[in-house]
Amino acid sequence: MSIQTAFERLDATSWGIQSHVCVGLDPDPARMAIPDVFEFNKSIVDATRHAACAYKLQLAFYEALGVPGLQAMERTIRHVRDAAPRAVIIADCKRGDIGTVAAAYAKAMFETWGFDMATVMPYMGADSIEPWLQYPDRGVYIVCRTSNPGAHDVQELRVQGGEKPRRVFEWVAAAAARWGAAGKVGLVAGATQPGDVRVLREAHADMPFLVPGVGAQGGDVALASRAAANLDGRGFIINSSRAIIYASKDRANFARAARDACEKLRKEINSALTVSV
């Protein structure tokens, strides 16, 4: 019996609940409606589990809180497993290092913490990615075209080679496609650059995309959705963190506001996919 990959499970969940929404659980004590990180996350998960196919935890927010933050992260992962067992859990860790260190990072994310997927940096090449691919049922998103304003400093540089120069992010995507022959690799492609997301989709029809940058970062949901979707209208998730989890700071209704924001994003994405391009 073949092992179902994390991307296959994500696709099945996304299709099953008709949602491409990934909720980013990025706890910031200065913005949270209640002070307890786990209880805050638990309320968000319980409120959005019907409309989210994935949850992404940015490790920096938990590490910044020290041991209590990591304990809250561990409890959050367990709760997602219980409350939303079909949802995929992503470690947004952006790790990247030599093979032995990468192997330790992969073990930490996939075995110790139990994440389904992780974001990884490609700068050190194939041998820094290979240890992550030793887990048949897990997956990685290669950081490729990011949503931050400074992304152009490196990612848009043109590199000589082949028949014509290509931008760095296009080279990264091509390398990721080679590394991910077994269906365990996807791309991070930021919503703030929908034209570049479309370029990536045209070149890599079947690769899964993780699309950050909507909401607080200003990416257009409709443009990003249409650019990221494959020919079947699938193959991508759009992450939203602040716009969902901080939709309200009122402790009495923050979870309900998060649910409404998550549902709104799901409808916006689905509506965009029904429009011909």
Q: CA–CA separation, 73 vs 64, rounded Å?
A: 12
270 CB neighbour count, 10 Å cutoff: 15
- Among candidate residues 42, 56, 94, 184, the one labeled active-site is 94
Cα–Cα distance, 80 to 140 (Å, whole number) = 19
For the segment 261-271, what is each residue's pLDDT rounded down to a tens digit? Answer: 999 999 999 99
Beta-ladder partners of 145: 189
User: What pLDDT, on a 0 to 100 scale, did the predictor assign at position 276?
Assistant: 47
- Give the phi and the psi of residue 270 in degrees, each rounded to 5: -65, -40
In the chain, which ranges are continuous DSSP H helix?
6-17, 37-48, 59-63, 66-83, 99-107, 126-129, 152-155, 168-179, 194-203, 221-228, 242-245, 254-273
pLDDT per residue rounded down to tens, the chain (277 residues): 567 899 999 999 999 999 999 999 999 999 999 999 999 999 999 999 999 999 999 999 999 999 999 999 999 999 999 999 999 999 999 999 999 999 999 999 999 999 999 999 999 999 999 999 999 999 999 999 998 989 989 999 998 876 788 999 999 999 999 998 778 999 999 999 999 999 999 999 999 999 998 977 788 999 999 999 999 999 999 999 999 999 999 999 999 999 999 999 999 999 999 864 4
| Active-site annotation holds for 164 | no
* Per-residue model confidence as pLDDT tens digits over 200-251: 999 999 999 999 989 777 889 999 999 999 999 999 999 999 999 999 999 9
Instruction: Identify the structural domains of the chain with CATH numbers, from first to last.
Output: 6-270 (3.20.20.70)
Cα gap 236→210, rounded to integer Å: 6
Q: Model-level pTM? A: 0.96
Rounded Cα–Cα distance for residues 229 and 204 (Å) = 11
